[in-house]
């Protein structure tokens, strides 16, 4: 019996190791040489109490510090967007910002600008503010003393995996704890640069993710994305972060 238990434990550990190897190399992009551009943002695998591997997250480096102040006038604020599903509200900008007709991917609040330029290049982007609860798929990894940081980093990592596949270079801009209306929060910000040479309307995007403990089952996630062909709107990032409030 002891030998059987030992064999089962050995198989479970080997499975966890294999999954960890796959996850890490997917996040890194095996075709990329040099340091891992996503270090500290992809999930690590550790054995769960049931001996099944569980996706978790833990910090692997020092947080990058406060959000930079992006200089410029930015967009005019004309009100507020209230997302009662996520439990947050934030600044509403004047046109050309607009509310999208349809929301998908777990978004319950949004405003955006189509940033496609006159060149007609494909793969255009949106300047956007999106909000919603942390997805159920990522929630199991956002636990423990670093739960909010994990929520922000896992959401940011998921965004990178959707839009950059195995290419791209990440530069850290910010990482720090916040307090919003007495509620704990975590902000992470980074810039992703495309490295695959595909013709695009822009070569990089600035992404900011704020995870907020609103007292609900899942933390609220607020993201701001600004592609480099709309860098004059980078100050809108600061406006959104400063305007954040928790609502019922």
* Distance in angstroms (rounded) separating the CA atoms of residues 98 and 65: 31
- Contact residues for 205 (Cβ-Cβ < 8 A; gap 6+): 125, 163, 191, 192, 225, 226, 227, 228
Look at residue 72 and tell me if it is in a domain.
Answer: no
Q: Would the pTM of this model clear 0.75, i.e. be above it?
A: yes
Beta strand ranges found along the chain (DSSP E): 44-47, 53-56, 77-83, 88-93, 109-114, 126-133, 169-180, 183-193, 204-212, 220-227, 245-246
**155 and 201 share one domain:** yes
**164 and 224 share one domain:** yes
**52 and 102 share one domain:** no
**43 and 114 share one domain:** no
**33 and 81 share one domain:** no
- Which of 40-49, 76-85, 192-201, 204-213 has the weakest average pLDDT? 40-49
Look at residue 61 and tell me if it is in a domain.
Answer: no
Query: Which is nearest to 138 in space by CA: 206, 66, 237, 55?
Result: 55
**157 and 188 share one domain:** yes
Residue 31 has pLDDT above 50, yes or no: no
Look at residue 62 and tell me if it is in a domain.
Answer: no
What residues does 191 pair with on adjacent strands?
171, 206
**139 and 231 share one domain:** yes
- Contact residues for 179 (Cβ-Cβ < 8 A; gap 6+): 185
**200 and 99 share one domain:** yes
Tens digit of pLDDT for each residue in 206-238?
Answer: 999 999 999 999 999 999 999 988 899 999 999
In angstroms, the first-to-last Cα distance of the chain is 55
- The tally of domains found in the chain comes to 2
Domain limits for position 31: 2-56
Tens digit of pLDDT for each residue in 136-158?
Answer: 888 888 888 889 999 999 899 88
Tokens of 171: 């530069």
**31 and 132 share one domain:** no
Tokens of 29: 């992009």
């Amino acid at each position: 019996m002891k030998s059987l238990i030992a064999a089962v434990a050995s198989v479970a550990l080997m499975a966890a190791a294999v999954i960890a190897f796959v996850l890490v190399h997917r996040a890194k992009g095996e075709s990329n040489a040099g340091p891992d551009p996503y270090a500290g943002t992809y999930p690590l695998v550790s054995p769960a109490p049931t001996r099944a591997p569980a996706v978790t997250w833990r910090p692997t480096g020092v947080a990058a510090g406060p959000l930079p102040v992006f200089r410029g006038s930015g967009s005019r604020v004309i009100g507020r967007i209230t997302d009662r599903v996520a439990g947050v509200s934030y600044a509403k900008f004047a046109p050309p910002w607009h509310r999208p007709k349809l929301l998908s991917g777990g978004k319950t609040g949004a405003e955006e600008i189509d940033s496609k330029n006159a060149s007609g290049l494909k793969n255009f982007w949106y300047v956007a503010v999106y909000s919603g609860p942390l997805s159920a798929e990522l929630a199991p990894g956002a636990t423990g003393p670093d739960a909010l940081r994990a929520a922000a980093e896992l959401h940011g990592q998921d965004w990178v995996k959707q839009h950059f596949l195995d290419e791209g270079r990440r530069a850290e801009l910010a990482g720090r704890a916040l307090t919003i209306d007495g509620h704990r929060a975590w902000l992470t910000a980074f810039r992703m640069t495309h490295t695959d040479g595909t013709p695009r309307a822009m070569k990089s995007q600035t992404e900011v993710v704020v995870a907020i403990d609103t007292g609900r089952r899942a933390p609220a996630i607020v993201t701001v994305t600004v592609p480099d062909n709309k860098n004059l709107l980078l100050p809108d990032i600061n406006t959104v972060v400063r305007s954040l409030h928790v609502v019922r």
